[in-house]
Structure 1
Amino acid sequence: MRVGELSSLSGVPTPTIKYYMREGLLPPGERTSRNQAHYDDRHLRRLRLIRALLDVGGLSVAEAGDVIAALESPDTGTHKLLGAAQQTGIRTAASCDDDAREDATAEVLDLVRRQGWKVSADSPSVAATAEVLGALGRLGLHDFVDRLDDYARAADAIAATDLDLVRRRPDVDGMAEAVILGNILGDALLVALRRLAQVHHSAALFDADADADADADAGAGAGAEPHG
């Protein structure tokens, strides 16, 4: 296909496509003449990945270029590549002081050991988790921290499902795209599902009291003397 068709199929304007090629994000097409080049499905997949990095992942063009460079490096294994893609979605508004962060980091590393997870101490995911734990402790929500292993087991099952979907993608571009979109949009999905489940469990735990009160009121009304 020519660049106009590539633009039409991808929804990316032609000047933007040419900009991505100048920045090294998108490989050039195969030259068919001095002013013409041929593009294929690989370019379409790469454009989807670029848009995922920039629009959904919120990366700058330079940061997206780093992920693309890792993807194209023959020395980057799949695990390292997916790790680079994963970091595009790590966001946390939680914060804590240095002492709390140090204690929380130790707690996270202990959790990693208990779960038998293969995660290095310098992983950004360790730091992000420690920030959240430190913030929970600062707010006095120690009971949440005490249930950390329960949360970890649920997260482990979700992660296994995630990676099963990722590994089914046909190439590394698709795998990286799945990690980025799956993490960012998947996080939103998990939040929504968590809310749904909370509604269910709240009804099971607390609506029973309301039902009992309603039954008691109904029973009292049935036993009352009729008027007139």
Structure 2
Amino acid sequence: MRMGELSRRTGVPVPTIKYYIREGLLPAGRLTSPNQASYDDSHERRLRLIRALLDVGGLKVAAIADVLAAVDDPTTSVHKVLGVATDLVVPRYGDAEPDAELDTARKEVRELIARRGWLADGDSPAAEALAMALAALKRVGHGAFAEVLDAYADAAEKVAEADLAYAARRAGLDDLVESVVVGTVLGDTLLASLRRLAQADGSARLYESESRVEARRARVRGNGRTPG
């Protein structure tokens, strides 16, 4: 296909495609004449991955180049490629000033990883983000939240299993990385929304009277009906 067709199929403007080629993110097309090049499905898949990393993952061009270099390196394992991609979409908090709460939280995170037998790096961006969250909880008087950390870890293992099972449906490595990035970023929103819904349900069952709970159930059943 010509670049115009590639643009129509992907929704990426021609000038942007040319920019990606100049930056080395997208391979150049196969020359069919001095002024014309041909593109194929591999270019379409790569463009979709670039847009996922940029629009969904929020990565800069340099970070996208790192992910694509890992994807294109035949010596890099799938596990390593996915690690590079997911580490880059984890929020960074900069260099935090060391304090007692953060030191304790980092220790708790390392102990959690060891206790659960996770093959994860205790110094990874995700581990640091978890430690930062635990330290923040300690500072506002909710250090006891660490007591429910394993319950959260149980849920996280199930979510990760579902994430990877979904991603495994994709055949190509570009598609696999795109799926993991999109699933990680948007999956966080899905998970947070489901949590809010479950909290609303649990709160109603715990604190509402039985009559109010029954009234809620009736409304939910009514809203959940499908047209006949």
Q: Does residue 1:25 correspond to 2:36, yes or no?
A: no
| Count, aligned residues | 213
Q: What's the counterpart of residue 90 of structure 2?
A: 90
Q: CA deviation at 1:88?
A: 2.9
2:114 counterpart letter in structure 1: R
2:15 counterpart letter in structure 1: P
Q: CA deviation at 1:6?
A: 0.2
* Structure 1 contact 137–145 (Cα < 8 Å) conserved: no
* Structure 1 contact 96–134 (Cα < 8 Å) conserved: no
State the TM-score, normalized to the length of structure 2: 0.88
Q: CA deviation at 1:175?
A: 0.9
- Counterparts of 1:42 and 1:159 in 2: how far apart (Å)? 28
Q: What's the counterpart of residue 159 of structure 2?
A: 158
1:152-201 per-residue CA deviation (whole Å, 9 max, x = no partner) reads 00011100110111122111101110111111111001111000000100
- Counterparts of 2:132 and 2:86 in 1: how far apart (Å)? 18
Output aligned runs, 1:29-44, within 5 Å: 29-44=29-44
Larger Rg: 1
1:20 counterpart letter in structure 2: Y
- Counterparts of 2:144 and 2:100 in 1: how far apart (Å)? 20
- Counterparts of 2:18 and 2:150 in 1: how far apart (Å)? 49
Report SS of the residue matched to 2:209: helix
Q: What's the counterpart of residue 202 of structure 1?
A: 203
Q: What's the counterpart of residue 47 of structure 1?
A: 47
Q: What's the counterpart of residue 107 of structure 1?
A: 108
- Counterparts of 1:78 and 1:31 in 2: how far apart (Å)? 31
Q: Does residue 1:66 correspond to 2:71, yes or no?
A: no
RMSD over aligned Cα atoms: 2.0
Q: CA deviation at 1:143?
A: 2.8
* Structure 2 contact 105–131 (Cα < 8 Å) conserved: yes
- Counterparts of 1:97 and 1:136 in 2: how far apart (Å)? 16
Q: Does residue 1:136 correspond to 2:137, yes or no?
A: yes
Greater Cα shift, 145-154 or 200-209: 200-209
1:102 counterpart letter in structure 2: D
* Structure 1 contact 57–89 (Cα < 8 Å) conserved: yes
Q: What's the counterpart of residue 170 of structure 2?
A: 169
State the TM-score, normalized to the length of structure 1: 0.88
| Percent identity over paired residues | 50
Q: What's the counterpart of residue 187 of structure 1?
A: 188
Instruction: List gaps (5 residues or longer) in structure 1.
Output: 213-228
- Counterparts of 2:146 and 2:172 in 1: how far apart (Å)? 39
Q: CA deviation at 1:28?
A: 1.1
Instruction: List gaps (5 residues or longer) in structure 2.
Output: 214-228
Q: What's the counterpart of residue 15 of structure 1?
A: 15
Report SS of the residue matched to 1:147: helix
